[in-house]
Structure 1
Amino acid sequence: MNILERYKKPTPKFFKTLRNIGIALATAGGAIIAAPISMPAIVVTIATYMTVAGTVATTVSQAVVTNDENTEIDENDDGL
């Protein structure tokens, strides 16, 4: 499965929520960085980290897909 096919498949509910939180973080951070007023360096630094973290969370969350082919739970699977 290539990346385009992955992005077209459905995303689980938890990762949809995480994706939306990431979008909000990236948007808020970008708005603070682009504000036309001068702010302390620490605020701009935190906004930069917010933007990066939000972008990464959004990208990773969107790449997670549900696997409809293998919906049965293996009782012998220990998760390793």
Structure 2
Amino acid sequence: MNVLKRAKAPTPKFFRVLRTIGLSLAGIGGTILAAPIALPVVISSIGGYLAVAGGVLSVVSQITTYNEDAYDSP
């Protein structure tokens, strides 16, 4: 199964929840990075890490699929 088919395939409920959490983290991180005021370096670094972690979590959760063949055979 290639990446495009995996992205379009149904995602298990647990990974849908993780995807939503990842998108939220990425949004929070992006908001911190795009703040119109000068923030301390530590907070800007945390924003960058949140954005990257949220993006990775969202992508991995989206391409996770339920493989029925693995659970049907004894």
- 1:34 aligns to what? 34
Runs of 4+ aligned residues of structure 1 deviating over 2 Å after TM superposition are: 68-74
Partners of 2:31 and 2:73 in 1: CA distance = 44
TM, length-normalised to structure 2:
0.93
**CA offsets 1:33-64 (integer angstroms, 9 cap, x no match):** 00100100000000000000000000000010
Q: Does 1:62 align with 2:62?
A: yes
Give the superposed CA RMSD: 1.2
Once the two structures are TM-superposed, the CA of residue 72 in structure 1 deviates from its matched residue by 2.5
Higher percent of residues as helix: 2
Once the two structures are TM-superposed, the CA of residue 67 in structure 1 deviates from its matched residue by 1.5
Alignment of 1:4-19 (within 5 A): 4-19=4-19
Is there any run of 5+ residues in structure 1 with no aligned partner, and where?
75-80
Partners of 2:9 and 2:3 in 1: CA distance = 10
Q: Does 1:43 align with 2:43?
A: yes
Partners of 2:56 and 2:70 in 1: CA distance = 27
TM, length-normalised to structure 1:
0.86
Give aligned-pair identity as a percent: 47
